[in-house]
Structure 1
Amino acid sequence: MRSLLLARLLAACLCAATLAGAQAEPGPPLSALTLVGAPRVVFKAGRDACDGHDVPDAPARAFRDATGALAIFGMHYRNRALRGPDADSLTLDCRIVLDSGLAAEPERYDDRTWITATWTEDGRTVVALLHHEYHAEAHPGRCRSAEMMACWYNTILAARSPDGGLSFQRAVPPAVVAAPPFRQEAEQGRHRGFFNPSNIVHDGRHWYFLASNTGWAGQPFGVCLFRSDDVRDPGRWRAWDGRDFAARFPDPYRKGEKPAGACKPVAPFPAPVGSVSRHRGTGAWIAVFQAAAGGAFPRSGFYWTTSRDLLTWDAPRLLLAGPTLYDDPCQAGGDLISYPSLIDREAKGRNFDDVGDRADLYYATLAVKGCKVTSDRDLLRRPVAIEVWP
């Protein structure tokens, strides 16, 4: 996801988000997460790739297909899946299940697209949330600047697979879940839009995900909570506005579509949420994310926080220290870590949105050469012990 430039954007916004987190009044800690083993390599780009596009570039997302096999997404914008009978036997399937068209027309929403969340009830029909990037600087006449960040326009889309994730189909017209209330030529000069949705989780008759936005007039920067009463219908997603799930962010290129309200950011997240999981024993929610040092975050690394309702979270605590994608690679002194997610191989749900007393922390390591974040990346998993208080 254009790692270094996105890191610079988020670093510039972290001050406001960190202050918001510091001003919140979280309750006492609800959980304890502890790393209990060494990391194991799940995917190594130099060894396991099908081509140069195969690098971990988003948090790992897993589901069981109709045969009981495991599929994990979280690679590049030429989307492929890791597949296998279990977490110890995953290999990269070289079939491209969703490609990116690099289309110049922004209303097509087919420039660069990552599968960043999935949900299936039966292992056959799979719905997906897509992180979509429109890079106007790559299309002549579409941006006033030649600088990528000044031209970057982000949206969250939906897609569907009829065959257990072997192929995904884009909707016609495009299924826009969340877009800024203006077209890509507006407010050029900075990154704009909604980006990096978390995994989808289910509670009662609703489905939820968290996503970041860059902020604009009337809309604060931060992470917002979305809810739907029908995960199959992309038009049913609404965001929390501080009172209800009523904020709506439809396609600005489609006539007759009008946005409604603004979403209220959820503390204490300074940047995208890696994953959300429900603890089977207590029903509490556990979110993991990455943060650079500063404000409420004394050290760079992966943090976790716990909630009873997905809106009020306790004080974040450090799970794994290390320079992240949001740190200056020139000062990192080694590899970066990024894209954390919790996945319990013993999850009861087909979509791995629940965890027990143990799970695996999946994350990527990104090699740095000089001051450049390279495509030399590994996907790792590391066992975690989980304790949640009733």
Structure 2
Amino acid sequence: MSRAGRWVSLAFGLVAASGSLAAPLPPVPDVRFAGPPTLMFDPAHDGCDGNDVPDAPARVFRRADGVLVMFGLHYTNHPLIGPKLDGLKIECRSALLAHGNPDPAAYDDRSWIAATWTRDGRAVDALVHHEFQANEHPGRCRFPGYMQCWFNTVLGVHSADGGRSFIKGDAPVVASAPFRQEVGQGRHRGFFNPSNIVSDGLFFYALASTTGWDGQEGGVCLFRTDRPDVPGSWRAFDGTGFTARFGDPYRGAASRDARCSTIAPFPAPVGSLVRQRGSGVWFAVFQASADANRFPVGGFYVATSRDLLHWSEPRLLLAGATNYDDPCRAGGRLLAYPALIDPDARGRNFDDVGPRATLLFASLRVDGCTITSDRTLLGRPVDLAIQR
């Protein structure tokens, strides 16, 4: 890295760590489609089984042998692999098996590989969206509904074989609510849906959502580590520094005093983060339901930042009902799981973009009021710019 590049990274680290420097003003995004959507993956023709449906934002990295690996399907965690982004094929083997364990302390219920990071294409660290679906385990929840019994935790796992298989260690928790899953919880609880992992050259970052609890606001929080291979090393930004630790409540590592500062303008999980080559600006893509405030219509939005903490007002990229909306009113299909990926990214983890990227997203068919497993993965070119 050049001296100038090191200074930019150092300055970013100082701003994020201490808030002692003036916050950089976020630029205004200027994003627009540069072509029609194309079909990237159709489970009906290309899947291994009924679980191979888009169910998370796409994550891509380049293995040491040059092959691309993508995760973003269901909890069976079958990867898509191939020589280029528009030539990926599914492999009918699970890279991470979870066993529906009825013990919430085992963190071995439904697990999605939600983010990956590799330095060399061989050793790969990943963040896992883990759901303890207590409604599926007799005696674990007194309510019948999925959302009333849903307890989420972000876990860390590791692969030593280029992402072919991942192992969960003895201390896997990256972020947990500071209390244990309760039979009478009555609502969605915990941390969930991490973004992809990005790096400024000094540290590694990811955004993760929380439903909140007494003393903790619900929203999106920024996490940081210098050791992505150590799950317990992640700390959340608390408003002044990266000091908030959300450890394992089953192993005495949880603190009720930990708080993270939620970040505007994100109303819900961020689909992906990418940094633009040349400008150094971060772009975040996410979905939102219509409201009376920032989001006049539902759909995919984009916001920009210079430091990952202070973000622009969102700009609409694609209007439409999302899987955050009432499916009974969707009228056919929903949008979900947006991610920006540059097929010509220079980094092994596809966290950088040029002036153009591909928006990968899922289209979900609705039958009456039910979101079905009839889903496809689409790609559409997007021009990314900022208003100077």
TM-aligned CA deviation for residue 186 of structure 1: 6.7
Q: Which residue is 1:264 aligned to?
A: 261
Residue 79 of structure 2 corresponds to residue 81 of structure 1? yes
TM-aligned CA deviation for residue 275 of structure 1: 0.3
Matches within 5 A, 1:179-190: 179-185=176-182, 188-190=185-187
Distance in 1 between residues matched to 2:201 and 2:104, nearest whole Å: 36
TM-aligned CA deviation for residue 204 of structure 1: 2.5
Residue 250 of structure 2 corresponds to residue 253 of structure 1? yes
TM-aligned CA deviation for residue 151 of structure 1: 1.1
Question: How far does the alpha carbon of each residue in 1:347-376 deviate from its partner, in whole angstroms, 9 at most, with x for none?
Answer: 111000010001100000000111110000
Matches within 5 A, 1:215-230: 215-230=212-227
Instruction: Please identify, of 46-55 and 251-260, the stretch whose mean Cα deviation from structure 2 is larger.
Output: 251-260
Opposite residue 130 of structure 2, the aligned amino acid is H
The Cα RMSD (Å) is 1.5
Opposite residue 348 of structure 1, the aligned amino acid is R
Distance in 2 between residues matched to 1:133 and 1:155, nearest whole Å: 7
Other structure's SS at 1:385 match: strand
Residue 334 of structure 2 corresponds to residue 336 of structure 1? yes
Other structure's SS at 1:253 match: coil
Opposite residue 359 of structure 1, the aligned amino acid is A
Distance in 2 between residues matched to 1:319 and 1:135, nearest whole Å: 33
TM-aligned CA deviation for residue 138 of structure 1: 1.1
Opposite residue 93 of structure 2, the aligned amino acid is R
Q: Which residue is 1:275 aligned to?
A: 272
TM-aligned CA deviation for residue 290 of structure 1: 0.2
Distance in 1 between residues matched to 2:140 and 2:217, nearest whole Å: 26
Cα distance, 1:380–1:100 mapped onto 2, change above 3 Å: same
Cα distance, 1:314–1:264 mapped onto 2, change above 3 Å: same
Q: Which residue is 1:379 aligned to?
A: 377
Distance in 1 between residues matched to 2:128 and 2:171, nearest whole Å: 11
TM-aligned CA deviation for residue 95 of structure 1: 1.2
TM-score by length of 2: 0.91
Matches within 5 A, 1:1-390: 29-171=27-169, 173-185=170-182, 188-255=185-252, 257-258=254-255, 260-294=257-291, 295-389=293-387
Cα distance, 1:77–1:256 mapped onto 2, change above 3 Å: closer
Distance in 1 between residues matched to 2:139 and 2:354, nearest whole Å: 52
Question: How far does the alpha carbon of each residue in 1:172-227 deviate from its partner, in whole angstroms, 9 at most, with x for none?
Answer: x2410000000001761001000000000000310000010001011100000000
Q: Percent identity?
A: 58
TM-aligned CA deviation for residue 31 of structure 1: 2.4
Distance in 2 between residues matched to 1:320 and 1:305, nearest whole Å: 13
Question: How far does the alpha carbon of each residue in 1:296-346 deviate from its partner, in whole angstroms, 9 at most, with x for none?
Answer: 101111000000110000010100111111111111112101000000011
Contact 1:115 1:130 in 2 (8 A): yes
Contact 1:250 1:259 in 2 (8 A): no
Question: How far does the alpha carbon of each residue in 1:264-313 deviate from its partner, in whole angstroms, 9 at most, with x for none?
Answer: 10000000000000011111100000001112101111000000110000
TM-aligned CA deviation for residue 27 of structure 1: 5.9
Contact 2:139 2:183 in 1 (8 A): no
Q: Which residue is 2:8 aligned to?
A: none
Cα distance, 1:28–1:179 mapped onto 2, change above 3 Å: closer
TM-score by length of 1: 0.91
Cα distance, 1:266–1:160 mapped onto 2, change above 3 Å: same
Opposite residue 178 of structure 1, the aligned amino acid is A
TM-aligned CA deviation for residue 67 of structure 1: 0.7
Opposite residue 207 of structure 1, the aligned amino acid is F
Other structure's SS at 1:107 match: helix
TM-aligned CA deviation for residue 236 of structure 1: 1.1
